[in-house]
Every structure is written in structure tokens, then in C-alpha cells.
Amino acid sequence: MTDKEHQEEIAKMCQNIRQEIFRGLTITNDPAIVQNYVGLLSHLNELQSYNIHGQPLIEKEYKLVKE
């Protein structure tokens, strides 16, 4: 499986989960449930940010700040 195929497979899987989360958000106003849904969406974003080898798809830039 190539990185592109992996990304597409994860995207398909995440899309179904996202749809259910958004559907759940439309039927509740319980802050705790909303917070859990937002956490799940964050985890899905994180899942989609890695390739099949567990390497980040986008290089994150870290800057050191001198004081």
C-alpha cells in the first residue's frame, strides 16, 4: 500500500466517523458530550496527519526562542 492509498483509506474511514459525530452534535447541547465529540474530531485529525509508516505528512516547524 502506498502512502497515497493509505491516506485515501484513512480519509474514507474518518469521513463516516465525522458524519456521525456531526449528526450527534446536531441533536445534543450537553457540554460534556460536545466536548467529547470535539476531542474525537481532534484525534481523527491527528490520525490523518501521519503516513503508513507513522511519519508526519507535514513537517512541523519548531522554533527556539532566545530570551
pLDDT in tens, 44-59: 888 888 777 777 776 5
What pTM, to 2 d.p., does this model score?
Answer: 0.62
pLDDT band at 61 (very low <50, low <70, confident <90, very high): low
Q: Give how many domains the chain has, as a whole number.
A: 1
- Please give the pLDDT value at position 57: 73
Q: What is the mean pLDDT of residues 25-41?
A: 89
- Please give the pLDDT value at position 55: 79
pLDDT in tens, 11-22: 888 888 889 888
Report in angstroms the alpha-carbon separations of 35 from 16, 25, 41, 60, 63.
19, 10, 10, 26, 30
Q: How many residues does the chain have?
A: 67
- Please give the pLDDT value at position 66: 59
Quote the domain boundaries for residue 50.
1-67
